[in-house]
Amino acid sequence: MKRTLGLILMLVLVVVAVVPVAAAPDPQIGINVVLNTDITDAALEDLSAFGRVVDVMEDLNALTMKVKSSRLADIRSLSFVAGANPDATRQGSPIDTVAATDFADGLSTWNLDAINVTDFGFGNRQVAQDGTGVYVAVLDTGLMDSWRRYFPEERIAVEYARSFGGGGGERGTVSTQPNKWEHDVNGHGMHVTSTILGYDLGGTPINGVAPMATIIPVKVLNQNGSGWSSVIARGIEYIGDLKAGPLADCPVVINMSLGGSALDAIEKAAIDYAIEQGVIIVASAGNSGTGGMGYPGAYEPVISVAAAGWAGQWLDGSWWYGINVPDPGNPAQYYIVDFSSRQLAGQDLDVTAPGSWIVGPYQLNCGMKNSYYFLSGTSMASPHVAGTVALMAQKNPALTAADAESILEATALYMAPGTQTVYSPYGYPVTYEWGADATGAGLVDAAAALAATP
């Protein structure tokens, strides 16, 4: 099962002729196994008859194995096995420090204005909350070496930051990789984090949805932006353990801007475990359009997010930080982008947030020059909602995942099925069309959600 970053990228593929090689008749594969009982020595001994157990996750009653592919059906038939599947891939030096401690008084951007967190200009916060006291774990590619040039050090929980690697049955057990979380070369996690916190733009502060939240960077995707379900499960379990331990008295939110075609058993177990500890999980809906939502976003307990754009973004030639989105919100001003995944039968799409042409820090290399890019994808939409949930959890630290989802859906700006012709940044018109399966409850309204949060 493949997981992809919720980000639209253009790739050029070079086809190289190769000599066909016969596939192995019964190759070894890495699998994830979830038990319906506690992990015992007897269960491990029984499983060892089918292959090698390489990693055990006791909190999840789960483990990973290397087995011949033909043995998967035998393992699934064991009475104490709740689920088993092949491990799934998932797609998505000294430096200066930002002087500001937060960006709550920074410039607004159209996307924050659209969800009613800010309004035009400086000193623009439209809500009383700023995320103080809330931890937001960003399970992604990690941060780049240059992160201190974009974010205040005080906002990054370096003591809890982690990197997990391995997975897929190729390298055995999932491992912890010290300090690798801040040596990303992909940039995806940096851009996602910037929507939550805000960022420094050459000395000018740019606002974030929850600029005083504390980010826990958890690297679960490798340097090309892909990874494995078993590794992601380790990251989710780790945050659940933090919530059950040192962060027991603090609200904790997870953002996952990643996804794939089916829900992995071990990933499901990790999500259930973290939510049971009190963690609220937000994830991108995916970029497969009419092909359906990605997982884990489509899993019902997760708050899933589709991607919208604003029709006025490119009309008057204003810079992205100089655009004033009219209030009150008018659904006729917004559209659902064609790549945003639609909900299929059995899937759960909750809400929509800005995910088209969102500006943030994004470096194409590890150089020392700051750079910023427009990116589009449900990856960009998800942190708008994770940040909004952080504001809600600041107001009510006892907020549950089910309560947060219910409030967000009840207060969202309904977007009816329709079509919208908008101008692209290149000056030509583009027409988008969407149905009721594309929007969930509608566009998130942070101010309304906070007003409804007890």
Six-digit token string for 287 = 């970029």
Six-digit token string for 235 = 């990251």
Euclidean distance between the first and final Cα of the chain, in Å?
A: 39
CA-closest candidate to residue 217, choices 259, 260, 258, 183: 183
Please list, in sequence order, all residues whose beta carbon lies within 8 angstroms of the beta carbon of residue 94, skipping any fewer than 6 positions away: none
Q: How far is CA 111 from CA 216, 249, 313, 361, 444, in A?
A: 23, 31, 10, 15, 11
191 is catalytic: no
Whether residue 296 is preceded by a cis peptide bond, meaning omega within 30 degrees of 0, is yes
The backbone torsions φ and ψ at residue 128, rounded to the nearest 5 degrees and listed phi first, read -75, -25
Out of 188, 191, 194, 264, which one is annotated catalytic?
Answer: 188
Greatest Cα pair distance, the chain, in angstroms, is 69
379 is catalytic: yes
Q: What is the 3-state secondary structure (H, E, C) of 263-318?
A: CCHHHHHHHHHHHHHCCEEEEECCCCHHHCCCECCCCCCCEEEEEEEECCCCCCCC
Out of 140, 184, 264, 350, which one is annotated catalytic?
Answer: 140
CA-closest candidate to residue 294, choices 283, 303, 307: 283
Out of 229, 379, 437, 445, which one is annotated catalytic?
Answer: 379
Report the relative pairing of strands 199-201 and 204-206 from DSSP bridges. antiparallel
Q: Do 115 and 225 contact (CB within 8 A), yes or no? A: no
State the sign of the Cα–Cα–Cα–Cα dihedral 397, 400, 403, 404: positive
- Phi and psi based region of residue 169 (left: phi greater than 0; alpha: psi -120 to 50; beta: remaining): left
Torsion angle, alpha carbons of 178, 179, 184, 189, to 10: 100
CA-closest candidate to residue 84, choices 28, 27, 34: 34
338 is catalytic: no
Active site residues: 140, 188, 379
